[in-house]
């Protein structure tokens, strides 16, 4: 097992991410995205995870009282072959415990469903310390802008071809925390806890304006 250099300290913020081994697709359909999203919530406690049993009793997993969280999540985004999460530990070893529970549970689900064995993810998850206020604020935009790659992979190299279309796509992308910040959906609000993070976006329009600023910087007409 690879040695991790990052030491996770409480009241510090981290961008954690990983992708499928050999860059393989890790979410093949909506059910896969939904399962991982459920695990973002359920794995964030000391209690064991059993999605099947929880769904037998509760209408949604978010109705389940999972206990005290291990981490506070500020933002997340799931992409076809990787994921991004911005978080901070709330207890000792909270980040590693949460990430190991989540990725192990998802790997077991994925392997069983697809009749495969072996690792699903590319080794240990990666982590970057958000060591400045500027960088931390930037990470919210970086994570929430990721889905633009799905409609224009080269947008940062050649510029956004249609800013309005890109913004509309971001607003309707189901598998990120952006909808909670924009207050367009609250279905998965329980996953994130913005109160533990600096109040960069007091109003939904604050985050909207920052994201639009980034998109307009990459407008193809500005290249």
Please write the tens of the pLDDT for every residue from 144-198.
999 999 999 999 999 899 999 999 999 999 999 999 999 988 889 999 999 999 9
> 30: buried, middle or exposed (CB in 10 Å: 19+, 13-18, 0-12)?
exposed
Model pLDDT, residue 222: 57
CATH class given for the domain over 14-222? alpha beta
The domain spans of the chain are: 14-222
Q: Is 173 helix (H, G, I), strand (E, B) or coil?
A: coil
Enumerate the H helices of the chain as residue ranges: 30-42, 51-57, 94-114, 133-145, 155-158, 163-172, 178-182, 204-217
Q: With a cut of 80, say whether residue 220 has pLDDT above it.
A: no
For 146-171, the DSSP string reads GGGGGT-TTHHHH-BS-HHHHHHHHH
Query: Greater confidence, 87 or 1?
Result: 87
Contact between residue 51 and residue 161 where contact means Cβ atoms under 8 Å apart: no
Report the Cα 149 to chain-centroid distance in Å.
Answer: 15
Collapsing DSSP to helix, strand or coil, 129 comes out as strand
pLDDT attached to residue 7: 83
Please give the model's pTM, rounded to 2 decimal places: 0.94
d(CA 119, CA 108): 10
pLDDT digit string (tens) for 70-88? 999 999 999 999 999 999 9
């Amino acid at each position: 097992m690879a040695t991790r250099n990052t030491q996770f300290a409480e009241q510090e913020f981290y961008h954690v991410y990983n992708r499928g081994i050999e860059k393989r697709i890790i979410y093949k359909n909506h059910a896969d995205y939904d399962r991982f999203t459920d695990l973002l919530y359920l794995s964030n406690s000391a209690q064991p995870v059993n999605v099947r049993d929880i769904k037998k009793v509760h209408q949604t997993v978010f109705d389940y009282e999972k206990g005290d969280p291990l981490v506070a999540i500020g933002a997340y985004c799931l992409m076809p072959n990787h994921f991004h999460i911005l978080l901070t530990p709330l207890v000792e070893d909270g980040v590693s415990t949460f990430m190991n529970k989540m990725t192990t549970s998802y790997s077991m689900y994925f392997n069983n469903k697809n009749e495969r064995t072996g690792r699903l993810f590319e080794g240990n998850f990666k982590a970057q310390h958000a060591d400045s206020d500027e960088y931390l604020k930037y990470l919210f935009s970086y994570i929430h802008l990721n889905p633009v790659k799905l409609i224009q992979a080269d947008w940062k190299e050649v510029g956004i071809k249609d800013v309005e279309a890109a913004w509309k796509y971001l607003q309707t992308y189901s598998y990120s925390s952006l909808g909670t910040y924009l207050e367009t959906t609250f279905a998965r609000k329980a996953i994130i806890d913005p109160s533990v993070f600096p109040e960069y976006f007091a109003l939904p329009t604050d985050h909207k304006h920052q994201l639009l600023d980034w998109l307009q910087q990459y407008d193809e007409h500005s290249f």
